[in-house]
Amino acid sequence: MQSDITGDVIGRALAEDLGTGDVTTAAVVPDDLELAADVVVKAPGVICGMSELIACVRLLDPGAEMEPLAAEGDLIAAPPFTVARLHAKAAALLSAERTGLNLVQRMSGIATARRCAAPASRSSTRERLRPASGSWTSAPSRAAAVETTGWASTTPS
């Protein structure tokens, strides 16, 4: 279930993207046409933001449903991989696609970077944390995380 704040952010993002409406979809797609759409991960990473994706579609089609094929936080190591199937009115899927996928990509990128950094943060060296200009920062670099996990690219595209 989405919090009021999350729902508000999704609503504002969708409103900004659609502006006065999706004129192409409105002109070409019949109102009653329903579709199924696959959400396919094309790069290795951690999946995150699927509930935000379906919330985005449900703002335009309250009857939309999602069939998850992977769970939030799952590592997708061998793409391409279908992580969900959405069922909704075609106009809702087409209109919400960019905003919804932007949310999933951003959230998955953050989750993936976090997963890559986790092994480096558990390092046994005393250099793990050190003060820098009066604040605390992690000493291991992203390169150390990549070396530990073997991932060269961490942001799904």
Please state the domain extents for the chain.
4-149
At residue 84, the 3 state secondary structure works out as strand
Least confident of 6-10, 81-85, 109-113: 6-10
- The fold of the 4-149 domain, in CATH, is Aldehyde Oxidoreductase; domain 3 (3.90.1170)
- Cα angle 39, 41, 42; round to 5: 130
Work out the burial of residue 59: count CB atoms within 10 Å of its CB; fewer than 13 is exposed, 13-18 middle, 19 or more buried.
buried
- Cα angle 84, 59, 64; round to 5: 40
Average pLDDT (116-141) is: 50
Amino acid symbol at 129: L
More confident residue, 137 or 65: 65
**Is-above-0.85 flag for pTM?**
no
Amino acid symbol at 121: S
In this prediction, residue 5 carries a pLDDT of 82
Kindly state the tokens that stand for 135. Answer: 């604040």
Q: What's the pLDDT tens digit per position in 102-113?
A: 999 999 999 999
pLDDT at 6 over 60: yes
**What is the rounded radius of gyration, in angstroms, for the C-alpha atoms of the chain?**
19
For 20, residues 6+ apart whose C-beta sits below 8 A from its C-beta are: none
In this prediction, residue 2 carries a pLDDT of 62
Q: What's the pLDDT tens digit per position in 108-128?
A: 999 999 988 876 666 554 444
